[in-house]
Structure 1
Amino acid sequence: MVAFLIGCDLGTTATKTGLFDTEGNTLAIARESSNIIYGRDGSVTQDPQEMLLSVVRTVREVVEKSGVNPRDILAIAIDGQMAGIMGVDARGEAATPYDSWLDVRSAPYAEEMKKAEDLIIKRSGMGPSINHGPKILWWKHEHPEVYRRIAKFTVPACWVAQKLAGLQGDETYIDYTYIHFSCFADLERKTWDEEILGLFDIEKEKMPRILAPWETVGTLRAEWAEAMGLPSGIPIVAGCGDQAANTLGAGVVKPGIAFDIAGTASCFAVFVDRFVPDVQYKTLLFPRSVLEGYYYPMAYINGGGMDVEWARNELFRELVHNPDAFARINEEVEKRVVPPSGIVFLPHLRGRNCPTQPYLRGVFAGFSWDHTREHLFLAILEGIAFEYAFYLKVLRELMPEIHFSEVRVIGGGAKSAFWNRLKASILGIPYVTLNREEFSIWGSAMVAGFGVGVFANLEEKAFSSVAKVSVFEPDEGLHRQYREFLPFYLETMEKMNEVMTRFRSLIR
């Protein structure tokens, strides 16, 4: 039987949609840039209706590009941004703009929620930050008239699916891969935690129903079907968060496989089979995987990839417009520097997110007249890997029995063999590149397929749908040297955070 699936990724900078056959072959991809609205009041929002229409237009584009018979498309699922939120009214319409994860207006309410931080981490899997809980409190206290009109809160990808299926406000949902960001969830039980809701006077009725990612929420309504170039009645599957879709799409479905998203942000996660929240360090988020009973504890450097771009732009200005700039820089570093660089770099140029240390900034520690720009560039690559090594340290304390088998790397940084070898040696774990570039939309397409019975075993389908291209083994001698640098890195960070917090009024 000829059959096809559609996966959509409602991302921060763009909406991306892919059409796949059931073997995972990509038949067409479409991309539409997002319209992010920066307000004078410090707001960062998106118009939910624009987000909905971006999905409609990109679906139509992939259908037309692929040339497939639209009647052979079996299901659609959407993944999306995870930490922001929006309100939905009783008719199922948007009651608020999408309050982006980049919007920090709710920061005072994150501080308020920290009075119950340990309880929130134990129940929801992460502490209050610029995420759902503080944002809900912001609407309640700063705009009570709007808050009263909100029937339910949810995330944009779920709302778009709701609209495509014609659901009313009381049918608003969220799938369980997002709910760690809520600060109001009992993550293990997949329910809303009435104790935490009560502490902050949030009505349980404002929270959406919680679904599994593969549940069918409805079928495509005729008015949207016509705009998409599809027949009405195609199943709309609940979908999942973008990072959950990424991990699934990369085949990160076996305990002990780690995942490095080497993009604008540098994100590191590990697939595990039990929930052990990080109450001590308050560093790791502990989201649910798409797969029932599994989690992928993660942490990230906000702008890790931007650190590398900064180094290119400022240290290697003659290469700024060279499309092969990073390959050229890596060649020069390999020629001129024998690792380790001897320098510790703190990669948090706009504050540290995991754990929250907002006043920390970038630092080069230990450099001298003997060091060159190549040493500084190497130190930046090392610094990002040292932060990952700290995440692994926390994980090993939480789950001492875990064996890390490999790190699957995606994103722009995955193209650098030099950096992959370096990270493998610093972490002491093999790094692996994969034969696929589009992970989130394939992850969503698999969720859609599983939801309508195309795939009998989602774990095995995900694992078998990608293949290893290159494996970078750790250099054991280099790993021993780098182990001595981790305390240097962590102590430098601790001291510099104290100093920068004390002198935060001077930091620009």
Structure 2
Amino acid sequence: MYLGLDLGTSSVKALLMDDNQSVIGSATAALSVERPHPGWSEQDPANWISAVRAAVSQLSAAHKSEVAAIKGVGLSGHMHGATTIDASGRVIRPCILWNDTRSHKEAAELDADPRFRKVTGNIVFPGFTAPKLVWMARNEAENFKRIAKVLLPKDYLRFWLTGETISEMSDSAGTAWLDTGKRAWDDALLSATGMKREQMPSLIEGTEVGGTLRPEVASELGLPAGVPVAGGAGDNAAAACGMGTVTDGAAFASLGTSGVLFAANDAYRPNPESAVHAFCHALPQTWHQMGVILSATDSLNWLAGITGKRPSELTSPLGTNVKAPGSVTFLPYLSGERTPHNDAQIRGAFAGLGHEADQNAMTRAVLEGVAFAFRDSLEALGQAGTRLDRVTATGGGSQSRYWLEVLATVLGMPVDLPADGDFGAAFGAARLGLIAAEKVDPAQVCTAPATAETIEPDSALSGAFEEAYGRYRALYPALKQAMA
């Protein structure tokens, strides 16, 4: 048996997998996000541990003997979070999360230093870890002086589980401190942010063993002591391992809280000017590129919240047959945007509202706006040298058939739906736990699921959506100027 732990923004998921990679069971425990000021987004790491305890307890209640037979653990988690601990291992302040934009000025300053793009292969985005530490140095100087280690969220879980301060390449590539081609910390970049190498965790590959379970934690969770914990992966790379997106040109579109268009690469292909992320993959000597949308299903959840409806109550009246775009256009920049704009200050908007714009029209505009944002990422991937001919859909938004029909038509390519099963980040983490514990070939483990169905673009509506995408593209500079 193998356990995958995925630390998400809104919940922790624990997934149990057997030797045949069949999912035996899973459990989740909810998390909340604190937003004490506009643009801020934080979590208390103690709540992550409580959620792991709760999720594993639920799993153990249903599968006690299987949990007691676990031979390997894998970790996944939301990226970029700055989790700072002191010399005694105590958390200094709440973790500053991936969608926190308070350090946008610091990010711009670091990005103006040409060394960062050259070494990391990426723009220094406000959500990345390094600018958050510069913000701490300027605004919380006493906290900054106490920092013994900076850990990414899933690696703080590892610290609790094993007592080790270790990270791996895929997550570390999102800090703006990693030489992504060499897969090593860069001392010059650390120094430029007032940090030292000894404050960084040691680095391994995601398929390697990164510590073993401490006896007291193993006893508390009902797991065997000494079980190896894999290096694991950042959430998107872990999801790619779960989806089998590990070979050159394979791709998925994740309609989660954020949106990700992820493409696996067999070589390092940076092009930061396109605002595409070029990161290490969880498997050795592999990389990946991805376009990132900060508010994907988050946009639909926002609309659901202000209308007092559940997201499914908004989408179900639309049916499954896609309609041509209406007069309403939505820009999904509720938390700013990464690809292709790298703009932490921009905010979302509806345009083209009229008396005829009812709830269905606004819902359709939200779904279309997010699909157009994915199209932006597709264009940016093309500028970075990656051409895609199809994608596999994943994430909560992929439950909406209407949304997938829109996405296929906007991207102009088939969208594959995997056969029933759980192929997300927790499953990918469990796969990495198996690889690390058993020393097996990652390519033999990280295979793609069968395709249950393929959704083709609606060629009859392609022209209408292309015209609507043009209107969408024209609105960003107008909105940018209006907010200046």
**Alignment-derived partner of residue 10 in structure 1:** 7
**Alignment-derived partner of residue 396 in structure 1:** 382
The one-letter code matched in structure 2 to 1:77 is G
Q: Does 1:109 align with 2:97?
A: no
Distance (whole Å) between structure 2 residues aligned to residue 369 and residue 394 of structure 1 = 36
Are the counterparts in 2 of residues 125 and 180 from structure 1 also a CA contact under 8 Å? no
- 1:309-347 residue CA offsets vs partner (Å, 9 max, x unmatched): 455566xx6xx557852453212x84xx84143554322
Gaps of 5+ in 2: none
**Alignment-derived partner of residue 127 in structure 1:** 123
Gaps of 5+ in 1: 503-508
Are the counterparts in 1 of residues 435 and 445 from structure 2 also a CA contact under 8 Å? no
What are the residue-to-residue correspondences of 1:179-190 with 2, within 5 Å? 179-190=172-183
2:343 to 357, 370, 390: 357
- 1:201-223 residue CA offsets vs partner (Å, 9 max, x unmatched): 43232222211112212222211
SS of 2:270's equivalent?
A: coil
When Rg is computed on C-alpha atoms for both structures, the one with the higher figure is 1
Alignment CA distance shift 1:141-1:328 (3 Å): closer
**Alignment-derived partner of residue 431 in structure 1:** 415
Distance (whole Å) between structure 2 residues aligned to residue 97 and residue 310 of structure 1 = 25
Distance (whole Å) between structure 1 residues aligned to residue 27 and residue 397 of structure 2 = 23
Q: Does 1:223 align with 2:211?
A: no
Distance (whole Å) between structure 2 residues aligned to residue 223 and residue 377 of structure 1 = 50
- 1:178-222 residue CA offsets vs partner (Å, 9 max, x unmatched): 122211211110112223233334323222221111221222221
The one-letter code matched in structure 2 to 1:462 is C
SS of 2:122's equivalent?
A: coil
Are the counterparts in 2 of residues 257 and 405 from structure 1 also a CA contact under 8 Å? no
The one-letter code matched in structure 2 to 1:143 is E
Are the counterparts in 2 of residues 345 and 362 from structure 1 also a CA contact under 8 Å? yes
The one-letter code matched in structure 2 to 1:58 is A
SS of 1:433's equivalent?
A: strand
The one-letter code matched in structure 2 to 1:415 is Q
Alignment CA distance shift 1:232-1:257 (3 Å): same
**Alignment-derived partner of residue 387 in structure 1:** 373
Distance (whole Å) between structure 1 residues aligned to residue 159 and residue 204 of structure 2 = 13
Are the counterparts in 1 of residues 329 and 472 from structure 2 also a CA contact under 8 Å? yes
Distance (whole Å) between structure 2 residues aligned to residue 220 and residue 239 of structure 1 = 15
Alignment CA distance shift 1:214-1:365 (3 Å): same
SS of 2:12's equivalent?
A: strand
**Alignment-derived partner of residue 69 in structure 2:** 72
Distance (whole Å) between structure 2 residues aligned to residue 203 and residue 159 of structure 1 = 19
Query: TM-score when scaled to structure 2?
Result: 0.90
SS of 2:287's equivalent?
A: coil
Q: Does 1:251 align with 2:248?
A: no
Distance (whole Å) between structure 2 residues aligned to residue 363 and residue 215 of structure 1 = 45
Alignment CA distance shift 1:145-1:125 (3 Å): same
Distance (whole Å) between structure 2 residues aligned to residue 352 and residue 218 of structure 1 = 36
2:287 to 289, 295, 306: 295
The one-letter code matched in structure 1 to 2:228 is P
Q: Does 1:405 align with 2:389?
A: yes
Shift of 1:494: 2.0
Structure 1 residues 287-296 or 321-330, which shifts more? 321-330
Are the counterparts in 2 of residues 10 and 16 from structure 1 also a CA contact under 8 Å? yes
SS of 2:2's equivalent?
A: strand
Distance (whole Å) between structure 2 residues aligned to residue 364 and residue 126 of structure 1 = 31
Alignment CA distance shift 1:322-1:176 (3 Å): closer
Query: TM-score when scaled to structure 1?
Result: 0.86
Distance (whole Å) between structure 1 residues aligned to residue 178 and residue 301 of structure 2 = 37
Q: Does 1:202 align with 2:198?
A: no
Distance (whole Å) between structure 1 residues aligned to residue 450 and residue 13 of structure 2 = 23
Are the counterparts in 1 of residues 205 and 283 from structure 2 also a CA contact under 8 Å? no
**Alignment-derived partner of residue 469 in structure 1:** 452
Task: Provide the aligned length of Structure 1 versus Structure 2.
Answer: 481
Are the counterparts in 1 of residues 276 and 384 from structure 2 also a CA contact under 8 Å? no
Shift of 1:374: 4.0
Q: Does 1:420 align with 2:411?
A: no
Alignment CA distance shift 1:389-1:36 (3 Å): closer
The one-letter code matched in structure 1 to 2:8 is G
Q: CA RMSD in A?
A: 2.8
**Alignment-derived partner of residue 505 in structure 1:** none
**Alignment-derived partner of residue 58 in structure 1:** 55
Distance (whole Å) between structure 2 residues aligned to residue 160 and residue 214 of structure 1 = 17
